Amino acid sequence: MRHYDLIVLGAGSGNMLLTEELGHFRTAIVEPDLFGGTCLNRGCIPSKMFVLAADAAEDARAAKRLGVHASIAPVDWKTVRDRVFSRIDPLHGSAVDYRRKNSIDVYTEEAYFIAPKVVQVGDERITADTFVVAVGSRPAVPHIPGLDSVPYHTSDTIMRIDELPTSMIVLGGGFIAAEFGHVFGAFGTDVTIVQRGPRLLMTEDKQVSARFTELASRRHRVLLGARATSVQPRGGSVAVTVRGRHGEQILEADLLLVCTGRRPNTDRLQALTGGLELDEHGHIATDNAYRTSVPGVWALEDAANHFQLKHMANAETRLVRHNILHPEDVRTLTNKVAPHAVFTSPQIASVGLTEQHARRHGIDYRVGVRAYADTAYGWALEDTTSFVKILGDPAERAILGAHIIGPQAATLIQPLIQAMTMGLTADQVGRDVLYIHPALTEVVEQALLAL
């Protein structure tokens, strides 16, 4: 049984953990799939490459409102796809080579605990003083009768298909559904979204969620309050029986995409056998320092929490690295500001409290909302649907939350993330700081002043 100082399970964020500072550790990294994990291979990065192509197509179509008339040739799916993966796929091999050159043992077989701090990987058993569990998550597939009888897709496989489907049914209305709806819609696929809840992007601020639902419904067929009750093959297509407000209907499409959530890979890891406590969703339970119930075992990212955000995983990675190196100075993640963005169309970005959360928890708040159209750049864009919404604390004047739907949302929100993190008040950021005229940032200034 080979013994290491450090075993890292999972080479997504786990691979980022291994900087020179840990160079003196005898280290192994275990990754049965691809280095780079979900983010690089099946998540953030390739999806954004498709989204940018989709944005380009939609922007070109929309340019006519500015007097620029563009016609778009049918999108050559294979070219777009191959451009994406010809850039991504070589990265796995070079990452493995790089680790091996730096005397880190790389295991590429499936791994699972057979006892606390003992892992079976292929034919070998390995153990270590310190473990970092970063095995990530995978799409959760719901139990729908007949689903296994059709070749359905998830976010793991949809980006690598061979032909652009003429039509597509998307089960789910969260951020993955919203992003792929945008991509395939922009590329010319007829998209139907089947969503159980009353709106799309239910976890966003209600006003953003409502606006997005309205805009998505102009582009796609969106069925709300609807549930898929069975699936069957029909010729080369897929038929989905959907029950909703208006009774039952049968939808048919070339392709079925299931985007109904994700689950941590802690089951495959046999985390319980490893002595690790799990929460009710299967995440490894950790404290704020990312310590698990087994001393010397740390867990982070999708395996340990709900964020499903690479920038949170990066922060966790830095923290765990510090804590491993400085057992005398263990730090905790105190930053409660967890921003996120949805790269759909229009773009959405959010940080902090939503209005519905504030209400539900009886938190006193004020709201400032500004339409892009109220500022020079938004007016020039002839934008009619985008806005910035900011929640503030009426007493302390702190910024409690910010929600943006519209072009550049993921960029526009950064000063608000910064203000919340650094404890700057809405007045300081709105009044003392200058905003370039006529940049789009003026809408943030105006929302702060409205507050």
Binding site: what residues are annotated? Answer: 48, 172-179, 261, 302
Catalytic positions are: 437
381 or 391: whose CB is closer to a copy of itself? Answer: 381
274 or 407: whose CB is closer to a copy of itself? Answer: 407
Q: Answer for the pair 230, 250: CB distance below 8 angstroms, yes or no.
A: no
First-to-last C-alpha distance (Å) of the chain: 62
**What whole-number distance in Å separates Cα of residue 217 and Cα of residue 174?**
14
**What whole-number distance in Å separates Cα of residue 360 and Cα of residue 367?**
15
109 or 427: whose CB is closer to a copy of itself? Answer: 427
Binding-site residues from annotation for FAD: 48, 302
27 or 38: whose CB is closer to a copy of itself? Answer: 38
Minimum separation from the CB atom of position 71 to a copy of itself (A): 5
Minimum separation from the CB atom of position 327 to a copy of itself (A): 22
Q: Are strands 247-253 and 237-244 parallel, antiparallel or unpaired?
A: antiparallel
215 or 439: whose CB is closer to a copy of itself? Answer: 439
Provide the H-helix boundaries in 151-302: 175-186, 206-219
Provide the H-helix boundaries in 154-220: 175-186, 206-219
Q: Answer for the pair 351, 338: CB distance below 8 angstroms, yes or no.
A: yes
The dihedral sign for the CA sequence 6, 10, 14, 15? positive
Maximum separation of any 2 CA atoms in the chain, in Å:
70
Minimum separation from the CB atom of position 291 to a copy of itself (A): 22
Binding-site residues from annotation for NAD(+): 172-179, 261
Q: Which helix (H) or strand (E) holds 348?
A: strand 348-352
Minimum separation from the CB atom of position 418 to a copy of itself (A): 5
**What whole-number distance in Å separates Cα of residue 21 and Cα of residue 104?**
14
Minimum separation from the CB atom of position 90 to a copy of itself (A): 13
The answer, yes or no, to whether the previous bond of 415 is cis (omega within 30 of 0) is no
